[in-house]
Amino acid sequence: MIMDQIVLFSYILSLTVLLIFASHGFIMLYYHRKYNKIAHNSKKGDQFDQTVTIQLPVYNEYYVVERLINSVCEIDYPKDKLEIQVLDDSTDETYELAKRLVEEKKKEGFDIKHIHRKKRTGYKAGALKEGLKTAKGDFIAIFDADFVPKKDFLKKTLKYFVKSKIGMVQTRWEHLNEDYSILTKIQALALNGHFVIEQTVRNKAGFFINFNGTGGVWRKECIEDAGNWQDDTITEDLDLSYRAQLKGWKFVYLRDFTTPAELPSEMNALKAQQFRWTKGAIETAKKMLPKIWKSKLPFRIKLQSTFHLTNNLVFPFILLAGILNVPLVFIKNSGPYDPYFNIMSVFVLAFISSFLFYLYAQRDVYSDWRKKMALFPIFMAGSMGFAVNNSRAVIEGLLDRKSAFVRTPKFKITSPTDKLNNKNKYISAIKADPSAFIELILAVYCFIGVAASIYFMEIAALPFHLMFFLGFSSVAAMSFKHAKLKKGN
């Protein structure tokens, strides 16, 4: 009896936390409606008078570095006002390829430099900081290796620096390989929630937003005034964004101008990326939230910043809910707990909030939004399946366990006809980590919940048991499958 009560209390606690964070989607949709018609001011005409440095941080990106350099050199901007820095920390064949490409572009008249560090001190933050020491530009544009900026990128972004306190302009990510696989389609749906709704709403409502690490332009003075790039978190972009806005700098987010990029096409690379983003956000929250709450910022900004930086705390509670789901089926059918389960029905609001949030994110920018939203149940299952990976990231972030900046490898896979196993020679050394075995065990465990729900005719609980089972099993299966590809099998 006592154990049953502990399980019930823990489950209700988990659902309460999930409800609080998920229901924040209702607030985002409220602000979305309220500020939807607000437009950012911009300068008229082409802007050719500013000197711009484009930084390209690269680390072992053999497949995409040529595409990156070529696309950057095609940007429509006067060569005498443009500097390009290839910040190359590579330790493989990428180094020689990048060096050769830079020499070729120099002969074409570009002011382009190949800056190579033998020691990867500070990872990406260290590379950006090193390049900034010699950067000529008053404005710094940054593109990761998997991005393909449009020719009018600088013309479209620089005109929004209408005031001296505007420190950064961020563009929305577009997905080059969204239709490659179910994995990339789900990623696109998830990212659109952030880029279409969250970033837009926060910016227009006057809340803090973040530079997304790439696809944006900084005022060099802003970077330096905010304390430059720092490597004490593994989300240096989020960290600098908050430090800059605390110093009074303003950001502009452009929802309707996009910068194409390649999504991870391989599960273990995606897990490494999600781990980095999740852990880095927790590290940044620990670093910045005390400063935010001690500042003179309005309460509404402090509160929204807290939600923004801590929303990854949901993952341990998703995991706990998934584990407790199974014994709850038996508890419900063996004890006098019906009133508790009747109260739990209120938690369906969390599902409704999430659904509406992503619905508006797709509907605002895509004509085929109905087709994309058909994937929502799979997206929810995938979010549950990532609970082990991301819970570990949350715990490490809370415990201040430092880890390396693990890159997200890309293979220039943009078409469904491209084959991942044709890239064996350069596939990342990321392996299926132990979490894949835990996910597999949890998949079997959650299947017990599926069977029990059917046996006891708990039809209302069955969809959630199925999503946990499908989430853990699919994430584990793809982790092992893609790890096998890396061995050349």
Q: How do residues 91-102 score in pLDDT, each as one tens digit?
A: 999 999 999 999
The pLDDT score that the predictor gives to residue 339 is 67
Q: Which residue has the higher pLDDT, 372 or 425?
A: 372
- Whether the per-residue pLDDT at 489 is higher than 50: the answer is no
Q: Which residue has the higher pLDDT, 199 or 333?
A: 199
- What domains can you pick out in the chain, each with its CATH number? 2-32+311-486 (no CATH), 49-264 (3.90.550.10)
The pLDDT score that the predictor gives to residue 250 is 98
User: pLDDT class for 434, splitting at 50, 70, 90?
Assistant: confident
- Whether the per-residue pLDDT at 22 is higher than 90: the answer is yes
User: pLDDT class for 117, splitting at 50, 70, 90?
Assistant: very high
Alpha helices in 110-152 (DSSP H): 123-132
The pLDDT score that the predictor gives to residue 486 is 53
Alpha helices in 214-266 (DSSP H): 220-225, 236-246
CB atoms within 10 A of CB 70: 13
Q: Are 124 and 144 in contact (CB under 8 A)?
A: no
Rounded Cα distance between 325 and 219, Å, is 50
Give me the active site residues, please: 89, 237
Closest CA to 241 of 216, 274, 205, 276: 216
Percent with pLDDT over 90 in the chain = 80
Residue 141, H or E segment: strand 139-142
The residues pairing with 170 across neighbouring beta strands, listed in sequence order, are: 216, 253
Q: What angle do CA 261, 264, 269 make, to 5 degrees?
A: 140
Q: What angle do CA 402, 184, 170 make, to 5 degrees?
A: 65
Percent with pLDDT over 70 in the chain = 94
Q: Are 149 and 72 in contact (CB under 8 A)?
A: yes
- Whether the per-residue pLDDT at 252 is higher than 50: the answer is yes
**253-264 confidence digits (pLDDT tens):** 999 999 999 999
Tokens linked to 212: 């997304």
Q: β-pairing, 250-261 with 166-175?
A: parallel
The pLDDT score that the predictor gives to residue 428 is 46
| Section 24-38 average pLDDT | 94
CA 123 remoteness from chain centre: 18
The pLDDT score that the predictor gives to residue 432 is 62
- Whether the per-residue pLDDT at 472 is higher than 50: the answer is yes
- Whether the per-residue pLDDT at 487 is higher than 60: the answer is no
Q: What angle do CA 312, 318, 324 make, to 5 degrees?
A: 155
Amino acid at 169: V
The pLDDT score that the predictor gives to residue 271 is 94
Rounded Cα distance between 341 and 365, Å, is 39
- Whether the per-residue pLDDT at 427 is higher than 60: the answer is no
Rounded Cα distance between 18 and 353, Å, is 11
Q: β-pairing, 216-219 with 139-142?
A: antiparallel
User: pLDDT class for 338, splitting at 50, 70, 90?
Assistant: low
- Whether the per-residue pLDDT at 429 is higher than 60: the answer is no
| Section 231-243 average pLDDT | 97
| Section 316-331 average pLDDT | 94
Q: Are 275 and 406 in contact (CB under 8 A)?
A: yes
Rounded Cα distance between 172 and 198, Å, is 11
The pLDDT score that the predictor gives to residue 488 is 45
The pLDDT score that the predictor gives to residue 426 is 47
Return mean pLDDT, the chain. Answer: 92
312 DSSP 8-state letter: G
The pLDDT score that the predictor gives to residue 437 is 94
User: pLDDT class for 47, splitting at 50, 70, 90?
Assistant: low
Rounded Cα distance between 55 and 140, Å, is 7
**210-228 confidence digits (pLDDT tens):** 999 999 999 999 999 999 9
The pLDDT score that the predictor gives to residue 336 is 74
